[in-house]
Amino acid sequence: MRITCRENIRRDLDMDLGISGRTAAIAAGSAGLGLGAAKALAADGVQVAICGRDPAKLAAAAEAIGGDVVTLEADLSKPDSGRAFVENAIDALGQLDILVTNAGGPPPGTFVDTDLDAYQAAFDMNCRSMIEMCRTAIPAMQERGWGRVCAITSVGVKQPIGYLMASSVARAGLTSFLKITAREVAADGVTINSAQPGTHWTDRVAKIVPDKETAAASVPARITGHPDDFGAAVAFLCSEQAKFITGTGLLIDGGQAAGLLD
């Protein structure tokens, strides 16, 4: 009986995010945190378009998401790729209500071993392509009086990560762009926020850290994040209930960032 009651309570507490029937484009949505966001949005009734570089990964992601998923091949490290992805998503979906910007991370590096070309590559992929997406998607959202933008960035924008020098620098620049833009478009019903992940167990992290236990040791919660949980947080920032949340960054990091200004 107790199990049944608990199940009923969980069902009663399920939140309708008010976005069923909306459309969303999720960049780099074929794996990791982007896939987690796409799954969460689709579960709330949003029709999604995702992009990635690998057709096989895109197909596997579409199956994991379920429903009518638009898959688009895109390499976000190339100039104009962000603009092209959003344009293609709009063509496929009819219009774009929600944009989740995201891209793979640059290789590890410190001051000593990160050269200028690495900074340029990081800027192109983790800042410029995101700005392109926003500049392409937001004007139509403003005209319709409703829109949501959520950028997947990093805990590194609040507490720079020494061994991810280029990534921390590029994403900090994007965060400044997001903050300024959020204030400009807030009166038009468009919110712009970022979800800032700490250590989540994804393929990227697995290439940097030897095992999950080592990764969790650096997190005060002593666990690593799960992409599906992260995706649920992104979906909330894109919800109707989050209409008064804009220009902010949500740390999803198990307590990793130690600063007071979150």
Do 103 and 167 contact (CB within 8 A), yes or no?
Answer: no
pLDDT band at 246 (very low <50, low <70, confident <90, very high): very high
The rounded percent of the chain whose pLDDT value lies above 70 is: 94
Distance between CA 244 and CA 190 in Å, rounded? Answer: 10
* pLDDT exceeds 60 at position 19: yes
Structure-block tokens of residue 31: 């794996």
First to last CA, the chain: 42
pLDDT band at 260 (very low <50, low <70, confident <90, very high): confident
Q: Which domains does the chain have, with CATH numbers?
A: 19-252 (3.40.50.720)
Q: What is the pTM of this model?
A: 0.91
Residue 231 phi/psi, 5-degree rounding, is -60, -35
3-state secondary structure (DSSP) of residue 241: coil
Residue 181 phi/psi, 5-degree rounding, is -65, -40
pLDDT band at 262 (very low <50, low <70, confident <90, very high): low
Q: How far is CA 122 from CA 71, 155, 211, in A?
A: 24, 16, 25
* Residues in a beta bridge with 23: 47
Do 76 and 104 contact (CB within 8 A), yes or no?
Answer: yes
> Between 161 and 33, where is the model more confident?
33
> Between 150 and 68, where is the model more confident?
150
Q: What is the mean pLDDT of residues 103-127?
A: 93
pLDDT band at 87 (very low <50, low <70, confident <90, very high): very high
User: What are 34-72's pLDDT values in tens digits?
Assistant: 999 999 999 999 999 999 999 999 999 999 999 889 999
Distance between CA 187 and CA 138 in Å, rounded? Answer: 13
Q: How far is CA 66 from CA 13, 53, 75, 84, in A?
A: 24, 20, 23, 24
